[in-house]
């Protein structure tokens, strides 16, 4: 029983940390590939669905790049981040 309780709190703490990272995560001066690799590490742990993840990804990426992706039709809110 104690093991299950400890595991629950470890998983909850990990998920909370992942959510915190994703909501504050910005591309900054990173290459988009590096940003993506870090983003997907946290996305799995967050438990967020794809709509929320796409929204967070778009918020974190350099604005001009997001506009370019949307303009050429390569990214929509309904897109999966696994593509």
Residue by residue, pLDDT tens for the chain (83 residues) are 656 655 665 588 888 999 999 999 999 998 989 999 999 989 988 989 999 998 999 899 988 887 777 677 655 555 555 55
pLDDT tens, position by position, 28-46: 998 989 999 999 989 988 9
- Looking at the whole model, is its pTM more than 0.85? no
Q: What is the pLDDT of residue 19?
A: 93
- Count of CB atoms situated within 10 Å of the CB of 75: 19
The pLDDT value recorded for residue 56 is 94
CA angle, 29 as apex, 26 and 31 as ends, to 5°?
90
Question: Burial level of 56, CB count in 10 A (0-12/13-18/19+)?
Answer: buried
Round to whole Å and give the CA distance between 6 and 11. Answer: 9
């Amino acid at each position: 029983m104690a093991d299950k309780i400890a595991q629950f709190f470890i998983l909850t703490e990990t998920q909370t940390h992942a959510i915190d990272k994703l909501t504050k995560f910005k591309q900054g001066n990173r290459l988009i590939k590096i940003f993506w690799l870090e983003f997907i590490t946290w996305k799995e742990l967050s438990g967020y669905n794809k709509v929320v993840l796409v929204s967070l990804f778009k918020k974190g990426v350099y604005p001009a790049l997001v506009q370019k992706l949307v303009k050429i039709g390569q990214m929509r809110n309904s897109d999966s981040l696994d593509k």
